């Protein structure tokens, strides 16, 4: 697994044969939809193509994928949003090509954590672009240059990211791209509302209200320093936070 940009994790997940099986299952379903003229619900308001996998028998498999694989990973990688407590998923495929949707607008997902796996087939373009994590309040704030990251899809490889990591997909300029998307959510367990450990704007607001203390374990009263930490504090950091008087 690698983390090419903060909070974006990529790794090999499906073997080519499994991708082929899943693609042919999707094709069969689409053929049936076309012949029966059945009205299907598209995965989200952003997609005119693609199908919800939970609607044709893959719900149990995707639930196992979330509980057995994504939850343990998210417990370690997304602890700040309660990654181990994911209990609901929305699983679908998105499809792009010159005769289908070509790109996907800038958005955040309706998820705590999103798994995005490229299933194939052959295509060019279609990069995912990321522009930093934001909570609802700061969703439209500008991004900082260091938050920009472009990811190039490869069949069989997954991207795992925070649902509030703002992103979009550039145009698929040739061929046919199909990706499996698993929006993993927490519906039952309430979780803390403080977003400052992942929303850059909440972090900045909090930072302005707080002054760092250089905490020396041997001193009874910590002394103040003017130096500022470069990133949000995490457990074990030597920087602790004190309220500005």
Ligand X SMILES: O=C(O)CCC(=O)C(=O)O
Chain residues binding Fe ion by CB under 5 A are: 109
User: Residue 109, interface with ligand X (CB under 6 A)?
Assistant: yes
Cα 222 from Cα 155, distance rounded (Å): 53
DSSP for 131-175, written as a single string: EEE--GGGTTSPPPGGGEEEE---TTEEEEEETTEEEEE--EEEE
Cα 94 from Cα 46, distance rounded (Å): 10
User: Residue 93, interface with ligand X (CB under 6 A)?
Assistant: no
The CB-of-145 to ligand X minimum distance in angstroms stands at 22
Answer for which of 179, 185, 186, 203 binds ligand X (CB under 6 A) is 179
Binding partner of 128, given ligand X, Fe ion, none, CB within 5-8 angstroms per partner class: ligand X
User: Residue 113, interface with ligand X (CB under 6 A)?
Assistant: no
Binding partner of 94, given ligand X, Fe ion, none, CB within 5-8 angstroms per partner class: ligand X
Closest residue to ligand X in the complex (CB):
169
90 CB contacts (<8 Å, ≥6 apart)? 43, 52, 54, 110, 111, 182, 183, 185
* Minimum CB distance to ligand X smaller for 93 or for 232: 93
120 has which bridge partners? Answer: 178
The CB-of-167 to Fe ion minimum distance in angstroms stands at 6
The CB-of-109 to Fe ion minimum distance in angstroms stands at 4
The CB-of-49 to Fe ion minimum distance in angstroms stands at 15
Binding partner of 179, given ligand X, Fe ion, none, CB within 5-8 angstroms per partner class: ligand X
Which is it for strands 210-214 and 165-169: parallel, antiparallel or unpaired?
A: unpaired
Conformation bin of residue 24: beta by default, left when phi > 0, alpha when psi is -120 to 50: alpha
Q: What is the DSSP letter of 68?
A: I
* Minimum CB distance to Fe ion smaller for 109 or for 112: 109
* Minimum CB distance to Fe ion smaller for 123 or for 183: 183
Q: Whose structure tokens read 């028998």? A: 57
Answer for which of 23, 26, 104, 199 binds ligand X (CB under 6 A) is 104
C-beta of residue 48 within 8 angstroms of C-beta of residue 57: no
Cα 92 from Cα 25, distance rounded (Å): 12
Binding partner of 93, given Fe ion, ligand X, none, CB within 5-8 angstroms per partner class: none
User: Residue 181, interface with ligand X (CB under 6 A)?
Assistant: yes
Q: What is the DSSP letter of 66?
A: I
Q: Which residues bind ligand X (CB under 6 A)?
A: 94, 104, 109, 116, 128, 167, 169, 179, 181
């Amino acid at each position: 697994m690698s983390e090419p940009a903060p909070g974006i994790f990529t790794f090999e997940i499906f073997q080519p044969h499994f991708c082929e099986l899943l693609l042919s299952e999707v094709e069969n379903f689409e053929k049936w939809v076309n012949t029966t003229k059945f009205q299907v619900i598209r995965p989200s308001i952003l997609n005119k193509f693609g199908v919800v996998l939970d609607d044709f028998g893959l719900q149990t498999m995707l639930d196992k994928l979330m509980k057995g694989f994504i939850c343990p990973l998210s417990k370690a990688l997304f602890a700040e949003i309660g990654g181990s407590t994911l209990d609901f998923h929305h699983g679908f495929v998105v499809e792009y090509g010159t005769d289908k949707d070509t790109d996907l607008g800038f958005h955040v997902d309706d998820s705590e954590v999103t798994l995005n796996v490229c299933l194939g087939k052959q295509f060019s373009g279609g990069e995912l672009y990321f522009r930093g994590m934001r909570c609802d309040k700061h969703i439209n704030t500008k991004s900082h240059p260091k938050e920009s990251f472009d990811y190039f899809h490869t069949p069989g490889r997954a991207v795992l990211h925070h649902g509030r990591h703002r992103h979009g997909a550039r145009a698929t300029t040739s061929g046919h791209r199909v990706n499996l998307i698993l929006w993993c959510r927490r519906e039952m367990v309430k979780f803390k509302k403080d977003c400052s450990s992942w929303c850059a704007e909440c972090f900045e607001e909090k930072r302005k209200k707080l002054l760092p203390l250089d905490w020396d374990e041997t001193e009874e009263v910590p002394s103040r320093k003017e130096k500022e930490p470069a990133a949000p504090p995490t457990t074990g950091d030597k920087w602790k936070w004190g309220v500005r008087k």
